[in-house]
């Protein structure tokens, strides 16, 4: 396969990675990214195939040497279903899905809508950052309510989540690692206290449901409960913030005001929050004519797959009315995002309320993407209400 050089921290790439993806995709379904020393699936067909191939998975074949500097973080990761394969993944995901039902998610809509109105009521006059005022609090408060932990802890949850998620970015430093490990210890202690309280006095919340969930004799252990709760917050919060920010920025740029299901899907396709998701190869295999060996690691470039011109005409254009197959922003296969229904609900409601309340919202400055690849989200989104009236 053809080799390509591109630093993931290069400012031009951070602001617009799509030209690089186009170059890679033009060379075939797979390309080799030398900066990661890793083959990449870049077409929609290749990414979809790798995500669903049972000869590949998230768990590495050999565990890396323990690093005391990230011991707490790695201990949580060891029980995260995002990093596990069958049978542990099957058991964990099954127990979570028993608690994370469509009825549970649907019941959150009125609360999310009320929260969005409350946040808009508190928007400052003049210019403000929509991410801080709206995109960040909506998902973190929603997850807090869903888990049954005090929403007054939202600032702590947000700080811990941001510190932990920073471990997945290209510009990992010793300071980022230390902050993530410290945040993990604090988050774990917080959840351990709440799990103990809910064991004694269960509530009508997801954490209580997960504590009680059974699959035959199988139940979630306390480390699994903690890892699952952290995963639901970290994965759900980070992705929803980026998607809402990216989507609003795109709509403001294109002059569209949409909040329907089709618009939410097009936001996810056009500018997804996660651009790279990896798989380990467990057995020699061939995918779309490319051979891989046991122990190889493949990067699925979700952002590249979602703009494949072989699938969508004018893929760089934002068009909520386009037709075509499903995007891959939520992943695929057994690791398809368990929180996808909640993310879709949050996005639809948040956009609906925003455009209802602020139909004349406008950008103040050009949005800037954060240097946090493999995530792709804005540092800030400075806006103002151009109507001149009261929000």
H helices of 32-87, in order, are 44-52, 71-77
* Residue in the block written with tokens 């797959």: 305
| pLDDT at position 238 | 87
Element (H, E) at 345: helix 340-357
Specify the 3-state DSSP secondary structure of 87. coil
Tell whether the torsion through CA atoms of 65, 71, 75 and 77 is positive or negative: negative
Distance CA 274, CA 251 (A): 19
| pLDDT at position 391 | 53
CA nearest neighbour of 249 among 329, 133, 343, 368: 368
Distance CA 8, CA 367 (A): 19
H helices of 100-205, in order, are 102-106, 109-121, 130, 137-147, 154-165, 174-200
User: Is residue 93 within 8 Å of 81, Cβ to Cβ?
Assistant: yes
pLDDT tens per residue, the chain (391 residues)?
A: 999 999 999 999 999 999 999 999 999 999 999 999 999 999 999 999 999 999 999 999 998 889 999 999 999 999 999 999 999 999 889 888 887 788 889 999 999 999 999 999 999 999 999 999 999 999 999 999 999 999 999 999 999 999 999 999 888 899 999 999 999 999 999 999 999 999 999 999 989 988 988 656 678 889 999 999 999 889 878 899 999 999 999 999 999 999 999 999 999 999 999 999 999 999 999 999 999 999 999 999 999 999 999 999 999 999 999 988 999 999 999 999 999 999 999 999 999 999 999 999 999 999 999 999 999 999 999 999 998 655 5
Distance CA 268, CA 274 (A): 10
Token pair for residue 103?
A: 């009825």
Give the CA-trace dihedral at 115, 257, 273, 329, to 10 degrees: 110
Distance CA 242, CA 376 (A): 7
| pLDDT at position 235 | 85
User: Is residue 182 within 8 Å of 71, Cβ to Cβ?
Assistant: no
Residue 24 CB contacts under 8 Å (≥ 6 apart), including other chains? 2, 4, 31, 33, 40, 42, 301, 304
Distance CA 389, CA 164 (A): 40
Distance CA 300, CA 148 (A): 34
Distance CA 178, CA 182 (A): 6
291-294 long-range contacts, CB within 8 A, separation 24+: 292/39, 294/61
b/e string for 60-84 if b means 16 or more Cβ within 10 A?
eeeeeeeeeebebbbbbbebbbbbb
pTM given for the model? 0.94
Could you tell me whether strands 30-33 and 3-4 are parallel, antiparallel, or unpaired per DSSP bridges? parallel
């Amino acid at each position: 396969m053809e080799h390509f050089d591109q630093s993931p921290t290069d400012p031009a790439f951070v602001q617009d990675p799509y030209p690089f993806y186009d170059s890679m995709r033009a060379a075939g379904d797979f390309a080799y990214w030398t900066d990661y020393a890793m083959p990449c699936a870049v077409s929609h067909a290749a990414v979809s195939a790798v995500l669903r191939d049972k000869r590949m998975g998230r768990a590495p074949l050999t565990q890396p040497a323990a690093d005391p500097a990230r011991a707490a973080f790695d201990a949580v990761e060891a029980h995260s279903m995002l990093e596990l394969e069958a049978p542990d993944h099957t058991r964990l995901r099954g127990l979570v899905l028993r608690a994370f039902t469509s009825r549970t998610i649907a019941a959150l809509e009125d609360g999310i809508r009320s929260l969005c109105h409350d946040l808009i009521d508190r928007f400052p006059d003049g210019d403000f950052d929509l991410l801080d005022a709206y995109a960040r609090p909506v998902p973190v408060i929603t997850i807090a309510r869903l888990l049954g932990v005090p929403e007054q802890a939202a600032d702590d949850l947000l700080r811990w989540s941001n510190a932990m998620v920073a471990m997945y970015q290209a510009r990992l430093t010793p300071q980022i690692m230390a902050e993530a490990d410290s945040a993990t210890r604090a988050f774990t202690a917080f959840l351990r206290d709440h799990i103990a309280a809910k064991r004694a006095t269960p509530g009508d919340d997801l954490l209580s449901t997960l504590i009680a969930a059974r699959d035959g004799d199988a139940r979630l252990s306390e480390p699994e409960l903690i890892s699952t709760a952290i995963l639901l917050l970290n994965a759900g919060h980070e992705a929803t913030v980026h998607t809402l920010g990216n989507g609003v920025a795109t709509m403001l740029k294109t002059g569209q005001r949409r909040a329907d299901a089709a618009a939410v899907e097009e936001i996810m396709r056009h500018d997804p929050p996660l651009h790279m998701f990896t798989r380990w190869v467990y057995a020699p295999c061939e995918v779309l004519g490319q051979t891989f060996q046991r122990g190889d690691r493949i990067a699925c470039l979700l952002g590249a797959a979602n703009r494949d011109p072989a699938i969508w005409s004018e893929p760089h254009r934002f068009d909520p009315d386009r037709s075509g197959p499903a995007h891959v922003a939520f992943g695929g296969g057994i690791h398809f995002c368990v929180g996808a229904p909640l993310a879709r609900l949050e996005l639809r409601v948040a956009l609906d309320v925003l455009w209802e309340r602020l139909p004349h919202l406008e950008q103040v400055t050009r949005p800037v993407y954060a240097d946090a690849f493999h995530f792709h989200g804005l540092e800030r989104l400075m806006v103002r209400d151009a109507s001149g009236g009261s929000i």
